[in-house]
Structure 1
Amino acid sequence: MTENQQVSGSYWLQTAPGGRRAALTEDLDVDVAVVGAGIAGLCTARELARAGKSVAVLEAGRIAAGVTGHTTAKVTALHTLVYDKLRRTRGSEGARLYARSQSEAIEHTARIVEELGVDCEWERRSAYTFVRDADRVDELRAEARAAREAGLPASFVTETGLPFPVAGAVEVTDQVQFHPLKYLLALADDIVAHGGRVHEDTTVLGLEEGSPCRLSTASGATVTARDVVVATHYPVFDRALLFTRLSPRRELVVAGPLPAAQDPGGMYITPEENTRSVRTAPYGEDGTHRFLVVTGEHFTPGTGDARALFDRLSGWARAHFPGVELTHSWATQDNDPTDTVPLVGPLHPGARHAYVATGFGGWGMSGGMMAGLLLTAQITGAPCEWSGLYDPRRLASAVREAPSFLKHQAQVARHFVGDRLRPAPPAEALPPGEGAVVRTESGRLAVYRDDDGALHAVSARCTHLGCLVDFNAAERAWECPCHGSRFDTDGKVVQGPATRPLERRDL
Structure 2
Amino acid sequence: MGRPGRGTRRRMDSTQGSYWIETAPGEAYPPLDGDLDVDVVVVGAGIAGISTAYEVARLGRSVALLEAGTVAGGVTGHTTAKVSALHTLVYDKLRRTRDEEAARLYAVSQSEAIERAAELVDELGIACDWERRDAYTYTHDAGQVPKIRAETDAARAAGLSAELVTDTPLPYPVTAAVKVTGQAQFHPRKYLLALLDDCVARGGRVFEHTPVVGLHEGEPCRVTTESGATVTARDVVVATHYPIFDRSMAFARLSSRRELVVAGPMAAGRDPDGMYITPDEGTRSVRTAPYGSDGQRLLIITGEHFTPGTADTDERFARLTSWATEHFPGVTFTHRWATQDNDPTDTVPLVGPLHHGARHAWVATGFGGWGMSGGIMAGRLLSDLMTGGRPVWADLYDPRRLRTVAREAPAFLQHQAKVGKHFIGDRLHGLDSADEIPPGGGDIVRAGGKQIAVHRDEGGQLHALSARCTHLGCIVSFNSAERSWDCPCHGSRFDVDGKVIQGPATKPLEQREPRHAEPSE
- For the 8 Å contact 1:262–1:321, the answer to whether it is kept is no
**Structure 2 counterpart of 1:445, one-letter code:** I
**Structure 2 counterpart of 1:258, one-letter code:** M
Deviation at 1:40, TM superposition (A): 0.2
- Give the secondary structure class of the aligned counterpart of 1:125: strand
- For the 8 Å contact 2:432–2:447, the answer to whether it is kept is no
Q: How many matched pairs? A: 505
Correspondent of 2:11 among 2, 5, 16 = 5
CA change 1:390–1:18 in 2 (3 A) is same
- Alignment of 1:295 with 2:302, yes or no, is yes
Distance 1:283 1:109 in 2: 22
- For the 8 Å contact 1:276–1:294, the answer to whether it is kept is yes
Aligned pairs for 1:215-226 (under 5 A) are 215-226=223-234
- Alignment of 1:305 with 2:312, yes or no, is yes
Distance 1:284 1:254 in 2: 17
Distance 1:152 1:439 in 2: 55
**Structure 1 counterpart of 2:316, one-letter code:** L
**Structure 2 counterpart of 1:504, one-letter code:** Q
Aligned pairs for 1:17-56 (under 5 A) are 17-56=25-64
For 1:387, the equivalent position in structure 2 comes to: 394
Aligned pairs for 1:63-462 (under 5 A) are 63-287=71-295, 289-441=296-448, 443-462=450-469
**Structure 1 counterpart of 2:321, one-letter code:** S
Distance 2:449 2:213 in 1: 28
- For the 8 Å contact 2:11–2:480, the answer to whether it is kept is no
Distance 2:320 2:490 in 1: 25
- Give the secondary structure class of the aligned counterpart of 1:176: strand
Deviation at 1:259, TM superposition (A): 1.5
Distance 1:361 1:408 in 2: 14
Distance 2:502 2:113 in 1: 27
Deviation at 1:50, TM superposition (A): 0.4
Deviation at 1:284, TM superposition (A): 1.3
- Identity rate of aligned residues, in percent? 68
For 2:518, the equivalent position in structure 1 comes to: none
Distance 2:436 2:92 in 1: 51
Distance 1:423 1:444 in 2: 7
Deviation at 1:240, TM superposition (A): 2.4
**Length-normalised TM-score, structure 2:** 0.96
Provide Cα deviations, 1:199-223, integer angstroms capped at 9, x if missing partner. Answer: 1111111000000000001121100
CA RMSD, Structure 1 to Structure 2 (Å): 1.0
**Length-normalised TM-score, structure 1:** 0.99
- Alignment of 1:468 with 2:475, yes or no, is yes
Gaps of 5+ in 1: none
Deviation at 1:8, TM superposition (A): 3.2
For 2:3, the equivalent position in structure 1 comes to: none
- For the 8 Å contact 2:66–2:208, the answer to whether it is kept is yes
- Alignment of 1:487 with 2:490, yes or no, is no
Correspondent of 1:15 among 3, 23, 29 = 23
Provide Cα deviations, 1:107-126, integer angstroms capped at 9, x if missing partner. Answer: 01100000000000000000
Distance 2:342 2:278 in 1: 18
Deviation at 1:423, TM superposition (A): 4.2
Distance 1:447 1:91 in 2: 50
- For the 8 Å contact 1:425–1:436, the answer to whether it is kept is no
Deviation at 1:425, TM superposition (A): 4.5
Provide Cα deviations, 1:226-257, integer angstroms capped at 9, x if missing partner. Answer: 00000000000121211000000000000010
